[in-house]
C-alpha cells in the first residue's frame, strides 16, 4: 500500500461551532489526479486546505481526527516549512506576488534557502517549462507578474508551486476564474503533471472532473458520500446525490 | 521659518514612521482580533481629538513633566503623538486591503510570518507611501500642538540642538496676524501663500503615487 500519499481518518473540521467536515475517511493515491467534488459549501475547499494546513490561519478553526501524509500525522508536524515544500497549493484566484515573473517563481526556492543565481535560473526555467509558460514569458522575466493575463497568471502560480519540487500539488478550483481556452490549457497541463506528481483538485465542474480525474471524491453537506475510480462512478453511481450531480440536477 | 518647519518635519518623520509602521503591522498582522479592534478604535478616537489638546498635552508632558522645555524636541514629540494615530488609521486600511489569497499564497509555500508580512508590505507599499505623505502634510500645516510646546515667534538663529525653540511657518503666520499691526499683514499673506504652495506640492505627490499604483 505504498502508493497511498494521504490517508484521512475520521476527520472532523469546525469553524467555531459549525462542522464543515464530518467523519471523512479517504485515501489519496500517488501520481493520480483526485478530484474533490460537490456543491458550494459542501466542505471541499476546507478539505483541500487541511492538506496544506492552511486553515491554521483562520481564527476559530479546529480539527478532529487524523491526516496522514506517508504515514505521518501532519497535524503533529512542528516545522511546516519543509512539509509545505512537499505539498504546495494553487488557489482559485490567481495570486501572483507583486514582483517580477522570475522572482515569483524563485520565491519558494529562496524561502527554502536556494540563493545561488545559476541554480535559481535553471530551476525557474524548468518550472516555467513544466507549467507550459516558458515560451510565452522567456523574454520578459523581469516584467511584473501582474501584467500577465489571467490564464498566464494561473500557470505562473502553478510554476511557482512546482519550482520547489513538491510531491503533491493541491489546486482549489484553479480554472473557475478563467475562460474556456485557458481552462483547457490548464487541464492538459494537469494531465501531464500527473505523470510525475500527485494532483488533488477541487472543482465544482462535473465536466472537468470527468475529463481529467482518475479518482473522484463526492462531498455533500460536509460528508463524504462516494469515492472511487472516476470511470466507475460515472457509469454506476451508487448514491442518489451522486446520480443527481452526474445528471446535472444539482451542482 | 521654512527651515525650522522642515527640521521639525524631519524629526516627526523619524519618530512617527518607525513607531507608526510597527504599530500598523501589529494592528493588522499580529494582534488578536479583539486587541486589534480596541487599538483601532483608540486610534480613531485620538484622531478626532482637536489638535490644541495635543498641544496642551505636549506642554504638560514633554515640556514640563519631562523637562524638555519649549523646544524642537517637545514640539516634534507633541506633533508625533498626533501624527502616529493618524498614520496608523489610514495605513492599516491599505494593509487590510491586501487580498487574503496573497498571504495564503506565501504561507502555502512554507514561508513564515515575517516573510508573509514583508510580502503584504510590498503589496501595499504605494498605499503606505500615500498615508505617509498625508500624515506629513497634516503635521506640516498643524499649528496648535507646536504653538505651546516648541515655537517662538521670532528667532534670529536656527535651532542648533534639540532643546532649542524653533520658528515654523504656521506659527509665524499666527504670530504676525495676532501681534503685529495692519501694516505687517503682507508678511502673513506671503507666508500663507508659501504654505499653500507647499501643501499643494505635497498633495500632488500623493496623487502621483496613487496614479502610479493604479498602473
Sorted by where each begins, the domain ranges of chain A are 30-54+79-246
CB A88 to CB B109 under 8 A?
yes
Distance CA(B121)–CA(B141), nearest Å, equals 28
Q: What is the mean pLDDT of residues A39-67?
A: 88
Q: Percent of chain A scored above 90 by pLDDT?
A: 47
Q: Structural domain of residue B24, as residue ranges?
A: 2-214
Considering only alpha carbons, which residue of chain B is nearest residue A79? B110
Q: Give the pLDDT band (50/70/90) at residue A102.
A: very high
Q: What is the CATH number of domain A30-54+79-246?
A: 3.40.50.300
Cα B24 to its chain centre, rounded Å, is: 14
Distance CA(A143)–CA(A59), nearest Å, equals 36
C-alpha cell at A105: 517563481
Q: Which residues of A touch B97 (CB under 8 A)?
A: none
Q: Give the residue ranges of DSSP H helices in B48-184.
A: 51-58, 72-96, 100-108, 113-123, 125-141, 144-147, 169-179
**Which CATH number goes with the domain that contains B179?**
1.10.3720.10
Distance CA(A59)–CA(A26), nearest Å, equals 26
What pLDDT is attached to residue A222? 87
Nearest to A217 by CA among A21, A60, A2: A21
Residues of chain B with pLDDT under 70: 1, 150-163, 181, 210, 212-215
- Edge-to-edge order in the sheet of strand A18-29: A72-73, A61-69, A4-15, A18-29, A223-229, A215-220, A33-37, A198-202, A168-172, A87-90
Q: What is the mean pLDDT of residues A43-66?
A: 89
Probe site for chain B from A107, A164, A169 (most B CB atoms < 10 A):
A107
What pLDDT is attached to residue A155? 92
Is the interface score ipTM higher than 0.85?
no
CB B101 to CB A83 under 8 A?
no
Probe site for chain B from A74, A98, A173 (most B CB atoms < 10 A):
A98
Give chain B's domain count.
1
Considering only alpha carbons, which residue of chain B is nearest residue A52? B108
- B105 and A CB contact within 8 Å: yes
Whether the Cβ atoms of residue B25 and residue B98 lie closer than 8 Å to each other: no
Distance CA(B87)–CA(A228), nearest Å, equals 56
The string of pLDDT tens digits covering residues B92-138 is 888 888 888 898 999 998 888 888 889 999 888 888 888 888 888 88
Distance CA(B170)–CA(B162), nearest Å, equals 20
The string of pLDDT tens digits covering residues A58-92 is 888 989 899 999 888 998 888 888 899 999 999 99
What pLDDT is attached to residue A234? 83
CB A54 to CB B33 under 8 A?
no
Query: Which residues between 58 and 77 in chain A have a beta carbon less than 8 angstroms from any beta carbon of chain B?
Result: 59
Instruction: State the helix-helix crossing angle for B33-47 and B72-96, rounded to 10 degrees.
Output: 130
What pLDDT is attached to residue A101? 94
> CB-based contacts of B18: which residues, under 8 Å, 6+ apart?
none
What pLDDT is attached to residue B163? 67
CB A54 to CB B104 under 8 A?
yes
CB A54 to CB B108 under 8 A?
yes
The string of pLDDT tens digits covering residues A109-164 is 998 888 889 999 999 999 999 888 999 998 999 999 999 998 899 999 999 999 99
Amino acid at each position: 500500500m505504498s502508493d497511498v500519499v494521504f490517508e484521512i481518518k475520521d476527520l472532523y473540521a469546525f469553524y467555531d461551532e459549525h462542522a464543515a467536515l464530518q467523519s471523512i475517511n479517504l485515501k489519496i493515491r500517488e501520481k493520480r489526479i483526485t478530484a474533490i467534488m460537490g456543491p458550494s459549501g459542501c466542505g471541499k475547499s476546507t478539505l483541500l486546505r487541511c492538506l496544506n494546513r492552511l486553515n491554521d490561519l483562520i481564527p476559530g478553526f479546529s480539527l478532529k481526527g487524523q491526516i496522514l501524509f506517508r504515514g505521518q500525522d501532519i497535524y503533529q508536524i512542528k516545522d511546516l516549512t519543509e512539509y509545505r515544500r512537499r505539498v504546495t497549493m494553487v488557489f482559485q484566484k490567481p495570486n501572483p506576488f507583486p514582483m517580477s515573473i522570475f522572482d515569483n517563481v524563485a520565491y519558494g526556492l529562496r524561502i527554502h534557502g536556494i540563493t545561488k543565481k545559476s541554480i535559481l535560473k535553471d530551476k525557474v526555467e524548468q518550472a516555467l517549462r513544466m507549467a507550459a509558460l516558458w515560451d510565452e514569458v522567456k523574454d520578459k522575466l523581469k516584467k511584473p507578474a501582474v501584467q500577465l493575463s489571467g490564464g498566464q497568471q494561473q500557470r505562473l502560480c502553478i510554476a511557482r508551486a512546482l519550482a520547489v519540487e513538491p510531491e503533491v500539488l493541491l489546486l482549489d478550483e484553479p480554472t473557475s476564474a478563467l475562460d474556456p481556452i485557458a481552462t483547457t490549457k490548464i487541464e492538459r497541463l494537469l494531465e501531464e503533471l500527473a505523470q510525475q506528481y500527485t494532483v488533488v483538485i477541487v472543482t465544482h465542474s462535473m465536466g472537468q472532473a470527468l475529463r481529467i480525474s482518475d479518482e473522484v471524491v463526492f462531498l455533500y453537506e460536509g460528508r463524504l458520500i462516494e469515492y472511487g475510480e472516476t470511470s466507475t462512478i460515472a457509469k454506476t453511481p451508487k448514491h442518489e446525490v451522486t446520480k443527481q450531480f452526474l445528471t446535472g440536477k444539482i451542482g | 521659518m521654512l527651515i525650522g518647519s522642515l527640521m521639525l518635519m524631519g524629526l516627526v518623520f523619524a519618530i512617527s514612521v518607525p513607531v507608526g509602521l510597527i504599530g500598523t503591522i501589529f494592528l493588522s498582522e499580529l494582534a488578536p482580533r479583539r486587541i486589534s479592534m480596541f487599538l483601532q478604535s483608540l486610534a480613531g478616537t485620538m484622531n478626532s481629538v482637536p489638535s490644541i489638546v495635543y498641544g496642551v498635552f505636549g506642554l504638560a508632558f514633554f515640556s514640563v513633566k519631562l523637562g524638555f522645555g519649549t523646544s524642537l524636541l517637545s514640539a516634534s514629540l507633541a506633533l508625533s503623538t498626533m501624527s502616529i494615530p493618524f498614520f496608523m488609521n489610514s495605513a492599516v486600511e491599505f494593509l487590510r486591503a491586501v487580498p487574503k489569497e496573497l498571504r495564503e499564497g506565501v504561507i502555502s509555500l512554507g514561508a513564515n510570518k515575517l516573510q508573509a508580512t514583508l510580502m503584504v508590505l510590498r503589496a501595499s507599499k504605494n498605499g503606505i507611501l500615500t498615508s505617509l505623505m498625508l500624515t506629513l502634510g497634516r503635521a506640516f500645516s498643524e499649528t496648535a500642538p507646536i504653538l505651546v510646546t516648541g515655537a517662538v515667534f521670532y528667532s534670529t538663529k536656527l535651532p542648533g540642538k534639540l532643546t532649542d525653540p524653533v520658528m515654523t511657518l504656521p506659527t509665524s503666520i499666527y504670530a504676525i496676524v495676532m501681534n503685529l499691526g495692519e501694516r505687517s499683514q503682507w508678511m502673513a499673506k506671503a507666508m500663507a501663500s508659501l504654505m499653500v504652495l507647499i501643501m499643494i506640492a505635497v498633495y500632488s505627490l500623493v496623487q502621483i503615487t496613487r496614479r502610479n499604483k493604479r498602473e
